[in-house]
Structure 1
Amino acid sequence: MFIQRSPKPLAQAAPRSLTADVTAPTGQRMSKASAARPEQRRYTRVSGRTRQSHRDIPIELNPAALLPMNKETELKKAKRTPLLLLAAAACVFLVTAFMPRGLWVDGIKAVAEAAMVGALADWFAVVALFRRVPIPIVSKHTAIIPKNKHKIADNLAVFVQDKFLDVPSLVGLIQKHDPAQSITGWLTKPANTARLGDYVVKLTSGILELTDDVRIQVFIKDALRDVLAKVDLSQSMGTILDTLTKDGRHQELLDAGIEQVVALLREPQAREFIAERIVEWVKNEYPKMEMILPSAWLGEKGAEAIANAVNRMLEQISENPTHQLRQKFDDAAQKLIVKLKSDPAFLQKGEELKRYLVEGEALSTYVKDMWGELRTWLKRDLQSSDSALHARVMAMGQWVGRELAQDPALRQSLNDHLEEAARAMAPDFAQFLTRHISDTVKNWDSREMSRQIELNIGKDLQYIRINGTIVGGFIGLLLYASSRLFELLRLHMG
């Protein structure tokens, strides 16, 4: 007896093809029938040339744009059936009221009466959800959805929070879907990492277009100033040197410096420079010696002698770990560390240097130049077909995918961290989202909200009216049959 409607997918409910009258490029009007046909091309001769014209142009319309209109139409159609059933029951009741009484006439009349009662009762129940019904006494209990908008908002928010955003639900979702395995499978595909690189490039390009250079520079400068203001330069430099001198690592720096000096002295340009300085010194200090020895020869020999002497000394230092100059270097480094950490003069110099960096214009100029160069490089790289940023993101994504694929413990660790993050963030996130849901629903217009709900579920609610009419008529038939049966039993027993 009950009528149930099987929900139809949206794609099936929407029209398969939508056409419209349009004007073709030639100025001719297209009919709906011609628009539905496949595209036809005609070639005409114009001034000795062949011109291709399009007579029929198919028009594709988006069915989603017509959804509100479709829902409105479907709701009106759905309301017709229960209304027709009510009208039919009323007509049957009126006809039987003027007919001579009899068993069948009284039975049909009883069915019609009960069907009308069921239809009207369910009509009131459905309509009272969305709008006010001006019936005395009961009207205050109508328009339930518009009047209870705030309650609906709060209850909906609480329902989402308790059933979808609670910690057990989120953790169970992570455990069910294994996001680490999904990430691994996604990153191991080169097409996906290339797509990831495209997203990062587009995002970076958008950020560069939207950012204000002056504000970025001010932000970087303020951040550097905050860092410098909290740093004791003298103490920090002393700590750095102290770290470098541990295990003789500063001697490696000395060896590197010696290698550079030796390599420099082997260069012809360096020897020419030394020779020129010797000739200049001889001319200034001993002008008469130039009359005895040629200055060019003297400079060349002197430069060679000095370079060889320095080379021999540096080689001795390099080959002898206990050379006295190495010890001198150790002592000098230790003294400098002590002074940097405790000498008031060095501490004062450190504060002056920090004040100069924080308050001077040098930092602003440096930040401006640095950001300008970085921005220019990023723009050039992002516009390039072989972007370094894109390649780096792809390589990083593929590396992460390989590492996750090869290490089950790493995947489990990632899932564990995601679960911990869900446990830590779920309460705050749920509170934020539920508050957003509640505030959004409360800000809706009551009548518009009620109308939207009716458009979406009103069609299904009409089946309540249909079933109410049918069930009412069936119950009326049962009651009439029962009453007649009781009368027959009473007559028989009497």
Structure 2
Amino acid sequence: MKLTATGLLVFVALVYVLATWAEHAGAGVWTGYVAAAAEAGMVGALADWFAVTALFRHPLGLRIPHTAIIPTKKDQLGVSLGEFVGENFLSGDVVRDRLRAVGIGSRLGAWLAEPDHADRVTAELATALRGALTVLRDSDVQAIVGEAITRRADNAEIAPGLGKMLEKVVADGGHKRVVDLVCARAHDWLVLHSDSVMDAVEGGAPGWTPRFVDKRVGERVYKELLRFVTEMRDMPGHPARGALDRFLADFAADLQSDSDTRDRVERLKSEILGRSEVQDIIASAWSAVRQMIVAAAEDERSELRLRVRASLLSLGRRMATEPDVSSKVDGWVEGAAVYVVTTYRAEITSLITDTVAGWDAEHTTRKIEAHIGRDLQFIRINGTVVGSLAGLLIFTVSRALGA
């Protein structure tokens, strides 16, 4: 294109020379019109050559002011470009209007509503979950979990809650099965260890009592104890059971209202939580949970993945068919995007500014000229043609007014 534009300049210059020569040779009036058109065409071509060349370099190497604009103003152009992008593309209103026009909520919903897409998202989420659990160090997570559970347990008073739960259990009779089990096990133990019970009674007798008396007393105590446990096991209305019900009911009330009882429970709780065995159990809970989650994430038919897939399909259908849901999602996306562009606008535009500033001036000039130089050469061609026509018109008007 440079050769074409320069060739056109040479052509009009040659026409000008020939027309001037012909005019002096008396070839006719027409030679003046041709010479005027060619002369104006040369002026237009040279002026536009200077303008186009001044964008990229100093014409003929002469450091004329306001030439070589691109290499000398490269950094300023980068700053201006960054500001232009920040003001016109990264403004909150522009981003919000554009996202609202796109309708991300309904489109995303329609995409998620497809089973294949839901399967793909579920698989990607499972992969991301496994990756996150792999990156996390167990010791760090265990320390965080242990500290969180301990702090929460320390801050929460458990006595009132235990009292309400015990009160409900007693009112519903749920404790009776435990009492039945204890009585049955106590009866069985007494039957199997009768000798141990009698030996314990005999061993606690005074030394001055005869042995046969101690034995009779031991047998009597054992029989009475066995009878008591048997009756308590077989008689739901046994007085001891009633006494136990009253004791549990009173204890449940004390847990809720008696300050002394509540303080004792809190001290017991603190002692239990402070034991190393309990802390080890709390810390090891993370390992069990982690293994469970990883196994569920790897198994395509696990309840976790099936529930996630079903939730994605349901969410997709709702987003695609319910305007309220899609509008809510659009609002979330718009809010997030606006927050990002308004908060990090300077960082985003600085990427443009710093990138342009890091370019080599000569290399940048050649790159820009290679992209838009072809169109700029048309300016030279048009300047030649328009200049010729303008010169011809001016010469014609001048001759007409002069005549």
TM-score (normalised: structure 1): 0.61
Match of 1:74 in 2: none
Residue 13 of structure 2 is aligned to residue 93 of structure 1: yes
Tell me, in whole angstroms, the C-alpha distance in 2 between the residues paired with 1:288 and 1:104.
Answer: 162
Contact (CA 8 Å) 2:183, 2:229: kept in 1 or not?
A: no
TM-score (normalised: structure 2): 0.73
Match of 2:207 in 1: none
Contact (CA 8 Å) 2:41, 2:384: kept in 1 or not?
A: yes
Tell me, in whole angstroms, the C-alpha distance in 2 between the residues paired with 1:244 and 1:261.
Answer: 17
Residue 81 of structure 2 is aligned to residue 156 of structure 1: yes
Equivalent AA in structure 2 for residue 125 of structure 1: A
Residue 343 of structure 2 is aligned to residue 431 of structure 1: yes
Match of 1:7 in 2: none
Tell me, in whole angstroms, the C-alpha distance in 2 between the residues paired with 1:146 and 1:317.
Answer: 102
Give aligned-pair identity as a percent: 18
- Out of 321, 335, 338, which is 2:254 matched to? 335
Alignment of 1:195-214 (within 5 A): 195-209=120-134, 211-213=135-137
Match of 1:83 in 2: 3
Match of 1:32 in 2: none
Unaligned runs of 5+ in 2: 24-28, 203-210
Tell me, in whole angstroms, the C-alpha distance in 2 between the residues paired with 1:315 and 1:163.
Answer: 87
User: Per-residue deviation at 1:152?
Assistant: 3.5
Residue 297 of structure 2 is aligned to residue 386 of structure 1: no
2:22 is paired with a residue whose SS is coil
Tell me, in whole angstroms, the C-alpha distance in 1 between the residues paired with 2:246 and 2:175.
Answer: 16
Contact (CA 8 Å) 1:340, 1:346: kept in 2 or not?
A: no
Residue 378 of structure 2 is aligned to residue 466 of structure 1: yes
Tell me, in whole angstroms, the C-alpha distance in 2 between the residues paired with 1:134 and 1:471.
Answer: 20
Match of 2:193 in 1: 277
Tell me, in whole angstroms, the C-alpha distance in 2 between the residues paired with 1:449 and 1:199.
Answer: 45
- Out of 363, 369, 372, which is 2:279 matched to? 363
- Out of 159, 179, 191, which is 1:238 matched to? 159
- Out of 294, 298, 310, which is 2:233 matched to? 310
Contact (CA 8 Å) 2:44, 2:386: kept in 1 or not?
A: no
Tell me, in whole angstroms, the C-alpha distance in 2 between the residues paired with 1:400 and 1:308.
Answer: 61
Equivalent AA in structure 2 for residue 468 of structure 1: R
Match of 1:399 in 2: 314
Tell me, in whole angstroms, the C-alpha distance in 2 between the residues paired with 1:305 and 1:345.
Answer: 32
Deviations 1:236-290, CA, capped at 9 Å, x for gaps = 2135336647xx53536x7333234436767xx886444213453246547989x
User: Per-residue deviation at 1:394?
Assistant: 0.9
More helix by share: 2
Match of 2:205 in 1: none
- Alpha-carbon distance change, 115 to 380 in structure 1, aligned in 2, over 3 angstroms: farther
Tell me, in whole angstroms, the C-alpha distance in 2 between the residues paired with 1:274 and 1:453.
Answer: 103
- Alpha-carbon distance change, 465 to 479 in structure 1, aligned in 2, over 3 angstroms: same
Tell me, in whole angstroms, the C-alpha distance in 1 between the residues paired with 2:165 and 2:94.
Answer: 53
1:85 is paired with a residue whose SS is helix
RMSD between superposed Cα atoms in Å: 4.5
Contact (CA 8 Å) 1:149, 1:442: kept in 2 or not?
A: no
User: Per-residue deviation at 1:337?
Assistant: 3.8
Tell me, in whole angstroms, the C-alpha distance in 2 between the residues paired with 1:444 and 1:314.
Answer: 93
Match of 2:94 in 1: 169
Contact (CA 8 Å) 2:119, 2:309: kept in 1 or not?
A: yes
- Alpha-carbon distance change, 428 to 175 in structure 1, aligned in 2, over 3 angstroms: closer
Contact (CA 8 Å) 1:200, 1:390: kept in 2 or not?
A: no
Contact (CA 8 Å) 2:56, 2:68: kept in 1 or not?
A: yes
Residue 389 of structure 2 is aligned to residue 486 of structure 1: no
Tell me, in whole angstroms, the C-alpha distance in 2 between the residues paired with 1:455 and 1:307.
Answer: 102
Alignment of 1:13-412 (within 5 A): 81-94=1-14, 96-97=16-17, 100-102=21-23, 103=29, 105-133=31-59, 135-136=61-62, 138=64, 140-209=65-134, 211-213=135-137, 216-222=138-144, 224-225=146-147, 228-229=150-151, 232-233=154-155, 236-241=157-162, 244=165, 248-251=167-170, 255-262=173-180, 272-278=188-194, 280-282=196-198, 285=201, 306-307=229-230, 309-313=232-236, 325-338=244-257, 356=274, 363=279, 366-367=282-283, 369-404=284-319, 408-412=323-327
- Alpha-carbon distance change, 176 to 217 in structure 1, aligned in 2, over 3 angstroms: same
User: Per-residue deviation at 1:143?
Assistant: 3.8
Deviations 1:164-221, CA, capped at 9 Å, x for gaps = 3333333333443443323332222211110111111221233344x152xx522441
Greater Rg, structure 1 or structure 2? 2
Match of 2:208 in 1: none
Tell me, in whole angstroms, the C-alpha distance in 2 between the residues paired with 1:451 and 1:379.
Answer: 53
User: Per-residue deviation at 1:84?
Assistant: 2.0
Deviations 1:90-116, CA, capped at 9 Å, x for gaps = 144136425623355554454444444
Tell me, in whole angstroms, the C-alpha distance in 2 between the residues paired with 1:89 and 1:405.
Answer: 64
Unaligned runs of 5+ in 1: 1-80
